[in-house]
Amino acid sequence: MLALDKVGKIYPNGVNALARFSAEIAPGEIVAIIGGSGCGKSTLLRAIAGLDRATSGTVSLDATAISAPHEKIGIIFQEPRLLPWLSVADNIGFGLSDLSAHERREKVARSLARVGLSDKANAWPRELSGGQAQRVAIARALVQEPDIILADEPIASLDPRNTRIVMDALLRINKHFGITVICNLHSLDLARTYCDRLIGMSAGRIVFDGAPVSLTDLIARELYDLEANDVMGSAPPVPADVTVPELGTAAAA
């Protein structure tokens, strides 16, 4: 169980990014954090990941407080942040120096299979599409064998086709392997489509917490304010010629 108890975060410039944020997220949930720009979504994920210590309150996993990066929590950022001088396989296995070469290869291969990129192990980051690079970042998080994956706007820079492929990969990881996924999403329609639970934030506070069906357009417009028209359109369709890969298969996208 991931628990946040009255978590607050005030930056040195006086910005109050989180204000007494409290929530519990059960194992196996897939949750979207939604809200307008500057509402505290990224700060929240950084606090959960142990990358940004809260000013007040506690973040805990299975009753153990988190104040530094945790081996059971993986994080994916808006940009994949792959090392250009390393192959895809070496990017994924970069943090596995304590394992034998054989064990490292097996874990990397298993992670690549889970995101449908088994044929890209020897590719260079420059040879990947944006969607492929983001799935490599997911595989890099998976190789840790985490209980929780945090995704901070993972599809913000992707086209509609790759958006669907990356979100499908996160959904399969959640449903097939029971890994908790907490995802910051700007698109409300994507959040409603892929996630079982939505947590709406405004000014660092929770203003909605429930199933997608319970989020009315009125509440959504209050959450997003001037951005509402940009985030409440239809989710991008999957082009007719796209087949999203099953687990363990390679994809060209």
Structure tokens at 44: 């929240």
Considering only residues 18 and 237, tell me which one the structure prediction assigns the higher pLDDT: 18
Query: Does 99 score more than 60 pLDDT?
Result: yes
Q: Calculate Rg over the CA atoms of the chain.
A: 18
What does the pLDDT read at residue 174? 96
Q: Would you kindly state where each structural domain of the chain is located, as residue ranges?
A: 2-82+147-231
CATH numeric code, 2-82+147-231: 3.40.50.300
Q: How many C-beta atoms lie closer than 10 Å to residue 159's C-beta?
A: 14
Q: What percent of the chain has pLDDT over 70?
A: 89
Question: For the whole model, what pTM was predicted?
Answer: 0.87
Q: What percent of the chain has pLDDT over 90?
A: 73
Mean pLDDT in the chain?
88
Each residue of 186-198: pLDDT tens digit? 888 899 999 999 9
Between CA 200 and CA 222 the distance in angstroms is: 10
Each residue of 58-78: pLDDT tens digit? 999 999 999 888 989 999 999
Strand order in the sheet with 2-10: 16-25, 2-10, 56-61, 64-65
Query: Does 32 score more than 70 pLDDT?
Result: yes
Each residue of 202-227: pLDDT tens digit? 889 999 999 999 988 888 888 877 56
Name the band, by pLDDT with cuts 50, 70 and 90, for residue 37.
confident
What does the pLDDT read at residue 225? 73
